């Protein structure tokens, strides 16, 4: 039926327009979000490189003969020292 074919073509045409509109709006939203986040990341990067993390000061731990020690380092790791270390 030619009328059904025309209606079907019209529906396909409308769906393509709606999908295209959605993808364009999604691109616009993505572009706007990226434009807003870019300065935030730039400022964070500059801050990170100009204010380095505090370096832990020098740490010295000694043990006497027969003594053992367990030391927690600033990075959270644990070191076990044996006697005369």
For residues 5 and 46, membership in a common domain is answered with yes
Instruction: Using a pLDDT cut of 70, give the percent of the chain over it.
Output: 82
Window from 3-12, 61-70, 76-85 with minimum mean pLDDT: 3-12
For residues 58 and 48, membership in a common domain is answered with no
pLDDT category at 57 given cuts 50, 70, 90 is: low
Mean pLDDT within 20-26 = 64
For residues 43 and 6, membership in a common domain is answered with yes
For residues 46 and 67, membership in a common domain is answered with no
**Among candidates 69, 60, 61, 66, which has minimal Cα distance to 83?**
66
Q: How many domains does the chain have?
A: 2
For residues 12 and 32, membership in a common domain is answered with yes
Confirm if 68 and 82 have CB atoms less than 8 A apart. yes
Range of the structural domain that residue 44 is part of: 1-52
For residues 63 and 45, membership in a common domain is answered with no
């Amino acid at each position: 039926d030619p009328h059904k074919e025309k209606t079907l073509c019209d529906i396909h045409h409308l769906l393509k327009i709606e999908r295209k509109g959605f993808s364009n709006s999604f691109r616009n939203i993505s572009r706007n979000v990226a434009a807003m986040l870019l300065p935030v990341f730039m400022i964070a990067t500059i801050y990170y490189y100009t204010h380095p993390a505090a370096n832990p000061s020098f740490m010295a731990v000694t043990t006497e003969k027969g003594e053992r020690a367990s030391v927690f380092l600033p990075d959270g790791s644990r070191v076990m020292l044996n006697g005369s270390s």
